[in-house]
Structure 1
Amino acid sequence: MQVPPASTPIACDMSTARDTPGERLAEYRRLFAQALVARERTEIGIRFRFRAEPGVEDWIRDLAAREKACCPFFGFDIAVDADQIRWDAAVPDTDEARAVLEEFYELSRKG
């Protein structure tokens, strides 16, 4: 996974997104509620594991692409491992970026 450099601005701009921030959060909550199996911390970030059910991989890839478009400081890697889809996320090694990553990790708990 390619993690953006520390010089990447830690800012989210959804001005050209097809959804609102509220809609995006609701979509994450639906995804986590419907398919999340586990979450864990990795050496460089976090990992979500989802059931590899029909449509879930496409949903994750679409959501990750939209997230990367508005928050370019995220690095994402998505892979299918047998019956699970693994979504890894990492950010530059700055306090501000790590705080956003932690919010993303905790969002899955509220799913």
Structure 2
Amino acid sequence: MQIPPASTPIACDMTHARDTPGERLAEYRRLFGRAVRERTATGVRFRFAAGPGIEEWVRDLAAREKACCPFFGFEITVEGGEVLWDAAVPDTAAARAALEDFFALG
């Protein structure tokens, strides 16, 4: 996973998003309600059972989030019947706080 440089602004711009902040938050709650969460050496991981449509949903949501919050580094993989969503941020206080908020969604 490529983690953006520390100089990347820690800001979210949903100006061109197809959803609103409230809709995005509700979608995260629906998706992350299915996840097992864990911390990794570089960030956090969400594990999902690889049921119908889950990988596509995770990839779509990650792409939309990356478009508005470029300070996140995301990697989605599938292994052993699970979809894994890894997330990491630059090593700054603001970025780490945003990652903690992200980890707590759901």
Question: Secondary structure, in 3 states, of the residue corresponding to 2:17?
Answer: coil
Per-residue deviation, 1:19: 0.3
- TM-score by length of structure 2 reads 0.98
| Counterpart mapping for 1:1-111 below 5 A | 1-33=1-33, 35-36=34-35, 38-107=36-105, 111=106
More helix by percentage: 1
Measure, in 2, the Cα distance between the counterparts of 1:40 and 1:67. 20
Measure, in 2, the Cα distance between the counterparts of 1:11 and 1:91. 12
Q: Where does the alignment leave 5 or more consecutive residues of structure 1 unmatched?
A: none
1:34-86 CA-to-partner distances (Å, cap 9, x unmatched) read x32x1111111000000100100000000000000000000000000111110
Q: Where does the alignment leave 5 or more consecutive residues of structure 2 unmatched?
A: none
**How well do the aligned residues superpose, as a CA RMSD in angstroms?**
0.7
For this pair of structures, how many residues does the alignment match? 106
- TM-score by length of structure 1 reads 0.93
Question: Secondary structure, in 3 states, of the residue corresponding to 2:75?
Answer: strand
Measure, in 2, the Cα distance between the counterparts of 1:32 and 1:9. 25
Runs (4 or more) in structure 1 with deviation over 4 Å come to none
Q: Which amino acid aligns with 1:60?
A: V
Measure, in 2, the Cα distance between the counterparts of 1:81 and 1:73. 26
